[in-house]
Structure 1
Amino acid sequence: MINTENFEFDSVYHIFSHVNGKELIFREETNYHFFLKQLDKYILPVADIYSYSLLPNHFHLLLRFKNIDDVDIESEHQYLMKNFGNFLNSYAKAFNKKYNRKGALFFNAIKRKKITDEKYLLKILHYIHNNAVNHGFVNEINEWKHSSYKSYLNPEKESKLNRTEIMQYFDSLEIFKNYHYSNIEYDFLNLK
């Protein structure tokens, strides 16, 4: 079961949300770019993003919230949730305006699972990067261009992702690639 516990500073989370109903949250290429732009604007100031996957009807993020010194510890959850609310609302408002639609775009609140151990962290990384394969959008992980996987394959290219922290778990880029092509069961995730 997905935990709905409070967000905490300096903690790692798997965060995801699904479209409301049977619509799409990404209808065209520009939607993906705008979503990442809003992610940069609202979430990068408060979190290091390790990975993401954007699919037509849902998205996944793996991130670590930063310590924000001038925020009271009792209000850290509200502070971080406000950033996520602003992020998703800014995307939904622009989307609704562009496609002349009304109403909620995302289904309920964002779902989240706090990650407390290395083994689970790496399985979530694998899951997120393989999400488009698992849903049948592509046959190979490197064919999906709306995930962070390709950014890891090109470490010389500048990225807003915190790749350094993730790559410390892999002795080489080849090991990173092999891990992502390995077969991992996801029944442990229970993403309901």
Structure 2
Amino acid sequence: MINTESFEFDSVYHIFSHVNGKELIFREETNYQFFLKKLMQYILPIADIYAYCLMANHFHLLVRFKAVEGVPIEDEHAYLMKHFGNFLNSYAKAFNKMYERKGALFLNAIKRRKITDEKYLLKVLHYIHNNPVNHGFVTEVALWKYSSYMAYVNSEKESKLNRNEILQYFDSVHIFENYHQSNVEYDFLDVE
């Protein structure tokens, strides 16, 4: 189910959101860079980031929330949602100021699906990285520069992503690349 699941510490989620209306979230290169900077600022302290893909009118994230001491279990969702709200509000305010626009940039709800097993995790990873191919923006996953895919392929380069958690499912980077070029059924995903 989407949006009815509460965020929980030490759990993995596929998180996505879409622009409000028919505008764009990212109009130019600096928007993508600024969004990633804000993602690292607001979300990295509370979550390991496994994957992301930024598209002109939506984004996808794959994260594992960290356990935070001192937050009662009944307050986990509110605590984590507050960080996501601050993240998206920070980006939207800067975006609105830059483009002299008013109003909500993102749809009200952050959509989310809890990842419950390895098979589902790997399918979501494939889906996120292949999103630009599936939408016809590029012909190969490696050609889209606004995703985490190349951070895995160039795994010797420093990254703030938690690549080790994901790469443990693949015997090599070559197998990781081959997996992303394979056909995977997404019929289990309820995303836009």
Note whether the superposition's TM-score is higher than 0.5. Answer: yes
Aligned position for 2:16: 16
Q: Give the counterpart letter for 1:134 in structure 2.
A: N
Aligned position for 1:67: 67
Question: What's the CA shift for 1:101?
Answer: 0.2
Q: Give the counterpart letter for 1:124 in structure 2.
A: V
Distance in 1 of aligned mates of 2:145 and 2:89:
24
Unmatched tracts of structure 2, length 5 or more: none
3-state SS of 1:67 partner: coil
Tell me if the contact between 1:13 and 1:64 (Cα under 8 Å) persists in the aligned partners.
yes
Unmatched tracts of structure 1, length 5 or more: none
Q: Give the counterpart letter for 2:61 in structure 1.
A: L
Distance in 2 of aligned mates of 1:14 and 1:180:
17
Aligned position for 1:150: 150
Question: What's the CA shift for 1:2?
Answer: 2.1
Aligned position for 1:190: 190
Aligned position for 1:176: 176
Distance in 2 of aligned mates of 1:9 and 1:89:
22
Aligned position for 2:99: 99
Question: What's the CA shift for 1:3?
Answer: 4.4
Aligned position for 1:80: 80
1:83-127 per-residue CA deviation (whole Å, 9 max, x = no partner) reads 000000000000000000000000121000000000000000000
3-state SS of 1:142 partner: helix
Question: What's the CA shift for 1:156?
Answer: 1.1
Distance in 1 of aligned mates of 2:142 and 2:160:
19
Considering only aligned residues, what root-mean-square deviation do their CA atoms show, in Å?
0.8
Question: What's the CA shift for 1:4?
Answer: 2.2
Q: Give the counterpart letter for 1:175 in structure 2.
A: I
Tell me if the contact between 2:55 and 2:146 (Cα under 8 Å) persists in the aligned partners.
yes
Aligned position for 1:163: 163
Question: What's the CA shift for 1:5?
Answer: 1.2
Aligned residues: 192
3-state SS of 1:175 partner: helix
Task: Tell whether 2:24 aligns with 1:39.
Answer: no
Distance in 2 of aligned mates of 1:6 and 1:112:
9
Question: What's the CA shift for 1:72?
Answer: 1.6
3-state SS of 2:179 partner: helix
Q: Give the counterpart letter for 1:4 in structure 2.
A: T
Distance in 2 of aligned mates of 1:45 and 1:72:
18
3-state SS of 1:130 partner: helix
Aligned position for 1:124: 124
Q: Give the counterpart letter for 1:174 in structure 2.
A: H
Tell me if the contact between 2:51 and 2:62 (Cα under 8 Å) persists in the aligned partners.
yes
1:130-174 per-residue CA deviation (whole Å, 9 max, x = no partner) reads 000000110111000000000001111100000000000001111
Q: Give the counterpart letter for 1:81 in structure 2.
A: M
* TM-score, normalised by the number of residues in structure 2: 0.98
Tell me if the contact between 2:18 and 2:57 (Cα under 8 Å) persists in the aligned partners.
yes
Question: What's the CA shift for 1:74?
Answer: 1.4
